[in-house]
Amino acid sequence: MARRQFYLSNGGLFVLLLCAAVGLLLLPRTLTQEVNFLFAETFQPLIRIGRNFQRDRFAMPGPDDAVVSRDEHNRLWKNYNNLHAQLLKLQEQVEILSQLRSGLPRFYSGLAIAEVTGAAGGLSHELLINKGTADGVRAGCYVMSIGQNSIVGVVRETSEQMACVRLLSDANQCIVIRIRRDGTDLDVGALMFGNGKRGGIVSKIERDKDIRVGDAVYAAARPGLLEVPMIIGEVSEVLPDEEPLLWKIAVQLADDAFTLQTLAVIVPETVGAGGL
CB-based contact 112:137 (threshold 8 Å): yes
Told to check if 172 binds other proteins by CB under 8 A, we report yes
Told to check if 48 binds other proteins by CB under 8 A, we report yes
Told to check if 29 binds other proteins by CB under 8 A, we report yes
- Rounded CA-CA distance 238/249 in Å is 5
Segment near other proteins (CB under 8 A); pick from 133-141, 143-151, 164-172, 268-276: 164-172
Buried-state track 48-80, b at ≥16 Cβ within 10 A, e below 16: beebeeeeeeeeeeeeeeeeeeeeeebbeebee
Min. distance of Cβ 40 from other proteins in angstroms? 7
Among candidate residues 88, 110, 118, the one with its CA nearest the CA of residue 259: 118
Q: Which of 112, 152, 163, 164 binds other proteins (CB under 8 A)?
A: 164
Min. distance of Cβ 6 from other proteins in angstroms? 13
Residues 9-28 that bind other proteins (CB under 8 A): 10, 13-14, 17-18, 20-22, 24-27
Q: How many residues bind other proteins (CB under 8 A)?
A: 47
H helix intervals, the chain: 10-26, 29-42, 44-47, 51-58, 70-99
Give the per-residue SS3 of 220-249.
CCECCCECCCEEEEEEEEEEECCCCCEEEE
Q: Is 13 helix (H, G, I), strand (E, B) or coil?
A: helix
- Rounded CA-CA distance 120/134 in Å is 20
Q: Which of 133, 195, 236, 252 binds other proteins (CB under 8 A)?
A: 195
Q: Which of 142, 175, 179, 194 binds other proteins (CB under 8 A)?
A: 194
Residues 111-140 that bind other proteins (CB under 8 A): 118-124, 126
Told to check if 51 binds other proteins by CB under 8 A, we report yes
- Binding residues (CB under 8 A) for other proteins: these are 10, 13-14, 17-18, 20-22, 24-27, 29, 32-33, 35-36, 39-40, 43, 46-51, 53-54, 57, 118-124, 126, 164, 170-172, 194-198, 258
